């Protein structure tokens, strides 16, 4: 009886009508923020949003991306190794007058180009394996980081520390000159020969680069002749032994080599994957001998970099910090006399088959 009376009173309290203007009280909710007299909850929420936003701004402004251990981040990358370039990247230069081939320095005829896919991947791989084979047979080639192989001059970098110990003094003298050895004599000494596949791949690549350069710069193909062509092999685990090993200095090709009109680089392996560092840096002259970085190209297997070789294109290669960077440099001239001085390749005694020498 008493229980039913108490229950009825509670139900009447629930349905008791409110006085006019009186609002129903919301159920109790635990306070999530400290309450101060006169400071509504919506103000607290606005302050919370403001604090979170400020913290986010501070975090973004101070955050730096994780740096690749081999990267040098004080320059802007123009052509990334991770990006494929089916169309040529072009950088025009505001110059006047005439270049070494008598071509007016206007439009795209004194510019810088970067392009992928000029040479089939199989032939890039063939040349990379050819270069590595020669360097390995020469016991690592040069004593410093860079080694150079010139198939036309028949030379390869060499440190003369081992391998030739069985030679007579006369044979050593004939073999080695100025940190290079005669490639033909060296291959005969080791009973080595080029294969027909290697020779044909090298010849096709040189011709493909010549045709591409003619199209890019508008130079008639018949007037564009081969100058020096050589391989470079930069080993990041070695330290420079002489000033000639310091490959990272800025230079201009016409000053360093004398006869280049146009320079083409073909990379045989890729940055990040095969080596760290080794970016190619185009520079700009600010007068009084001051040059500053203008554009960076990250090497990628099969990538071609083409540029006019004169003072409008000072450049350098950054240090390789890991791995081996491999490339083919093909220079071109408009001088018939200079072109005639370049020996043909191959020397019949250096190849497994005999026949007409490739250009």
Active site residues: 325
Q: Which residues of 4-27 are buried (b: 16+ CB within 10 A; e: fewer)?
A: eeeeeeeeeeeeeeeeeeeeeeee
State how far the Cα of 123 lies from the Cα of 115, in Å rounded to an integer. 16
| β-strand partners of 226 | 332
State how far the Cα of 88 lies from the Cα of 307, in Å rounded to an integer. 12
Q: Give the CA distances from residue 253 to residues 74, 166, 332, in Å, rounded to whole numbers and listed in that order.
A: 24, 39, 11
State how far the Cα of 116 lies from the Cα of 343, in Å rounded to an integer. 29
State how far the Cα of 131 lies from the Cα of 147, in Å rounded to an integer. 10
For β-strands 180-182 and 304-308, DSSP reports them as: unpaired
Collapsed DSSP state (helix, strand, coil) of residue 190: coil
């Amino acid at each position: 009886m008493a229980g039913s009376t108490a229950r009825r009173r509670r139900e009447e309290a629930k349905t008791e009508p409110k006085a006019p203007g009186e609002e129903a009280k919301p159920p109790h909710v635990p306070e999530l923020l400290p309450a101060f007299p006169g400071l509504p909850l919506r103000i607290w929420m606005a302050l919370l949003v403001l604090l979170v936003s400020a913290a986010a701004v501070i975090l973004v402004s101070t955050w730096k991306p994780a740096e690749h251990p081999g990267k040098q981040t004080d320059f802007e990358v123009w052509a990334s190794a991770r990006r494929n370039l089916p169309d040529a990247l072009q950088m025009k230069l505001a110059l006047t007058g005439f270049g070494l081939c008598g071509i007016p320095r206007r439009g795209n005829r004194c510019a810088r180009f970067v392009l992928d896919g000029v040479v089939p991947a199989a032939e890039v791989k063939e040349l990379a394996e050819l270069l590595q084979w020669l360097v390995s047979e020469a016991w690592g080639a040069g004593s410093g980081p860079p080694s150079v192989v010139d198939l036309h001059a028949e030379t390869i970098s060499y440190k003369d520390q081992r391998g030739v110990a069985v030679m007579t003094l006369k044979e050593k003298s004939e073999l080695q000159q100025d940190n290079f050895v005669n490639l033909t004599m060296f291959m005969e000494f080791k009973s080595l020969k080029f294969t027909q596949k290697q020779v044909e791949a090298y010849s096709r690549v040189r011709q493909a680069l010549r045709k591409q350069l003619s199209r890019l710069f508008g130079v008639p193909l018949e007037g564009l002749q081969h100058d020096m062509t050589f391989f470079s092999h930069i080993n990041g685990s070695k330290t420079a032994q002489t000033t000639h090993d310091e490959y990272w200095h800025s230079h201009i090709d016409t000053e360093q080599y004398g006869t280049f009109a146009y320079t083409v680089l073909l990379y045989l392996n890729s940055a990040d994957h095969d080596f760290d560092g080794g970016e190619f840096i185009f520079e700009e002259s600010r007068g009084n001998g001051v040059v500053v970085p203008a554009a960076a190209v990250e090497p990628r297997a099969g990538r071609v970099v083409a540029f006019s070789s004169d003072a409008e294109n000072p450049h350098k290669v950054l240090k390789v910090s890991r791995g081996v960077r491999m490339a083919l440099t093909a220079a071109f001239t408009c001088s018939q006399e200079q072109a005639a001085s370049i020996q043909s390749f191959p020397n019949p005694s250096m190849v497994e088959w005999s026949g007409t020498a490739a250009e």
